Amino acid sequence: MASIVYLPVIFTLCTAGLFLLGKSAPELEAGERLNLQFPKSFTDLKAVTTLLSEYKREHYFYVLCLFCSAFLWKQSFGIPGSASLNLAAGALFGTVVGFPLVCVLTATGATLCYTLSYLFGRKPIAKYFSSKLNWFRAKVQSHSQNLTYYLLFLRLFPASPNWFLNIASPHIGIPVHKFFLTVLLGLMPYNFVCVQSGSILGELESFSDIFTWTRMFQLAMIACVALIPSLYLKKYNKSSVTAKAENSAQTDAKAKISFQTEVYATERSL
């Protein structure tokens, strides 16, 4: 495993690359250049998406490349603010393009975070998150027969700490293909809500207009539905093991009786 000291170097290089990409924006017909920064408030977000929407008319692929790079940068290094980018995707590309784009970028960025954690994060994560890591490992082991459904539940549930799931998963034996798939599918409802809201961003006043208690409850119910197959399979596996144990005990008992009968018959014949 590589040393943790390489991680700041990678972060610096990626940040510098994103900065240069932002500064290398082509000029508009009026000779103006794009001057961007990550939004710090909902008002900033609306201003940035308005500016990019106008810029996109002449430089669609540049805006697409810039958006994808910023999204992957945030996801890969666990930087908060993915909701803002989800909203921006809806405002810039609409639901039809923005929703699948965000789903793929979310899964890809989370997998990059998984990879960075696997390469550089074992010791610091074991040191600073030992109790949480042990708890998560125990949960994963108890759902080993239905791991995919359990991981889907964690991603669908709106209160799950996705940043911790991303950095902890490689250290408790979660395969990368299951990790990618469950992020891709499990965050679809959340991504859809954000992207759809972003398509009407001009009508919204704050993040509270999006994440209402009703909507959070709906997302939680979806997560609970996803957990049902996991609970059913877990119960089924326990019943199957119990039944096999009972059948094995009955078979052993019959064999023992048969053996004793044969011994008794042999003794009588003698």
Q: How far apart, in whole angstroms, are the C-alpha atoms of residue 128 and residue 260?
A: 61
Q: What is the pLDDT of residue 31?
A: 55
Q: What is the pLDDT of residue 11?
A: 95
Q: Is residue 255 part of a domain?
A: no
In tens digits, what is the pLDDT along the chain, a chain of 270 residues? 567 888 999 999 999 999 999 888 877 665 556 667 777 888 888 888 888 888 888 889 999 999 999 999 999 999 988 888 999 999 999 999 999 999 999 999 999 999 999 999 888 998 899 999 999 999 999 888 888 888 988 888 877 889 999 999 999 999 999 999 999 998 988 888 889 888 877 777 776 777 676 766 766 776 666 566 555 555 655 554 454 545 554 555 454 455 455 544 555 555
Q: Is residue 85 part of a domain?
A: yes
Domain span at residue 74 reads 6-240
Q: What is the pLDDT of residue 114?
A: 96
Q: Is residue 178 part of a domain?
A: yes
The phi-psi region of residue 18 (left if phi > 0; otherwise alpha if psi is between -120 and 50; otherwise beta) is alpha
Q: How far apart, in whole angstroms, are the C-alpha atoms of residue 99 and residue 179?
A: 20
Q: How far apart, in whole angstroms, are the C-alpha atoms of residue 18 and residue 1?
A: 27
Q: Is residue 106 part of a domain?
A: yes
Cα–Cα nearest to 117, from 75, 168, 190: 168
Q: Is residue 264 part of a domain?
A: no
Q: Is residue 265 part of a domain?
A: no
Q: What is the pLDDT of residue 252?
A: 52
Q: Is residue 33 part of a domain?
A: yes
Say how many Å lie between the first and final Cα of the chain, rounded.
72
Cα–Cα nearest to 174, from 103, 241, 238, 113: 113
Q: Is residue 177 part of a domain?
A: yes
Domains held by the chain: number = 1
Q: What is the pLDDT of residue 76?
A: 95
Residue with tokens 């990790």: 179
